[in-house]
Homo-oligomer: A and B are copies of this chain.
Amino acid sequence: MDRVLQDMEKERETLQVWKERVGQELDSVVAFWMEHSHDQEHGGFFTCLGRNGQVYDHLKYVWLQGRQVWMYCRLYRTFERFRRADLLDAAKAGGEFLLHYARVAPPGKKCAFVLTRDGHPVKVQRTIFSECFYTMAMNELWKVTGETYYQKEAVEMMDQIVHWVREDPAGLGRPQLSGTLATEPMAVPMMLLSLVEQLGEEDEALTSKYAELGDWCAHRILQHVQKDGKAVLENVSEDGKELPGCLGRHQNPGHAIEAGWFLLQYARRKGDIKLRMHIIEKFLLLPFHSGWDPEHGGLFYFQDADGFCPTQLEWDMKLWWPHCEAMIASLMAYSENGDPALLKLFKQFRDPEFGEWFGYLKREGKVALSIKGGPFKGCFHVPRCLAMCEQILEVLLRHLG
């Protein structure tokens, strides 16, 4: 065997081992949520779960309800071993909970941020994100069940979101103040781009309906590359200019990397090779290197693009989700260019004793919060990452023969 073949064989073995590991981890993570999070009484999911799965709060965060419905359906739809009735039943019960209770004042489309266990609204955020995860859940439920009322909900909500973002944000309830800069948080076009991808998947009519929106989102996200191409900034003006102060200098490396793989999917659909190279350079390599902690490893949560100390108390913590996004993004980039330096696996968050991942580590890597779920951590980033990595690895292995 010559050197090249030897290397290929070694790489194939590595990918095979990873695929098995990732698959086992996915099984264990899904089992954790199946066992601990289902509310048999009211439908929907508990997400405030302690290290061993104990429910420490019954509140239901709408982001996480929508995400878990989406995740269950996606697993059911795309993995043979997850085509299980109990998974689909729980997803449907979550979907019905959202249909009944997510909207604060139906038929108005504004959704709550958090509900009581039995569905009364507790808090409303003046953003689009509850509605976005609602849309993802409904569209995926439709894809799995074929029930058209889910899809009607998804498309109507999507059109409302697009109206808020591109036409008139008044319905979100945020007051217009003379000192507020017209800021674009990168989360908004990112979220919309992922919805364009979600709704358009295997759906020509919606692909075509949202094609221009997808281009708009990609354009807007790309505008967040600033400082002569040396930084991805979380907030820029609507016409793509740097903003003053902490707001303008704010960086979230994990978020930039997540935007990277959203954009990479978009560029693949477009068949735009130049754009793919640009995305890998600016949204993956750049934030991965500048966001990496040279002392203890891991991605910082927040940074200041000019090197000032961030004002967020948690800025140097290592969160699970940026590392999940980095695993997906780097595996996607590896699929593009085959550079094995891009292969990243983060094991520091695992909890072999009770399953699922810890969400919040201190800078040094020690567990800071022992919870497995909370107001912002549910059944989403970890299983999405593992499922996507397993699928990407499978494709790669198939190509390698």
Contacts and interface: CB of A to CB of B under 8 A. Distances in A.
A316 interface: yes
B368 A313 contact: yes
Nearest to A369: B309
Contacts of A360: 313
A59 B375 CA distance: 29
- The oligomer's copy count stands at 2
Nearest to A175: B124
A110 B150 CA distance: 43
A175 B244 CA distance: 32
A124 B177 CA distance: 9
Interface stretch (A114-122, A210-218, A221-229, A264-272): A114-122
Contacts of A362: 362
Given A57-B246, A245-B57, A246-B57, A115 B179 contact: yes
Nearest to A360: B313
Contacts of A309: 50-51, 56, 369-371
B180 A122 contact: yes
Interface string A316-350: 11000000000000000000000000000000000
A284 interface: no
A103 to B, nearest CB: 12
B58 A244 contact: yes
A250 to B, nearest CB: 11
Given A57-B245, A317-B313, A50 B179 contact: no
A247 to B, nearest CB: 8
A316 B368 contact: yes
A104 interface: yes
A59 to B, nearest CB: 6
Contact of A120 (B120, B177, B369, B370): B177
Specify which of A58, A245, A313 lies most central, judged by the most chain B CB atoms within 10 Å of its CB.
Answer: A313
Nearest to A319: B313
A123 interface: yes
Contacts of A112: 177, 179
A48 interface: yes
A185 interface: no
A177 B314 CA distance: 30
A254 interface: no
A221 B59 CA distance: 26
Nearest to A315: B369
Contacts of A59: 245-246
Interface in A38-75: 48, 50-51, 56-59
B116 A179 contact: yes
A124 B121 CA distance: 22
Given A57-B246, A245-B57, A123 B177 contact: yes
B177 A48 contact: no
A311 interface: yes
Contacts of A169: none
Contacts of A369: 309-311, 313, 315
A6 interface: no
Specify which of A120, A179, A370 lies most central, judged by the most chain B CB atoms within 10 Å of its CB.
Answer: A179
Contacts of A370: 309
A343 to B, nearest CB: 29
Contacts of A317: 313
B244 A179 contact: no
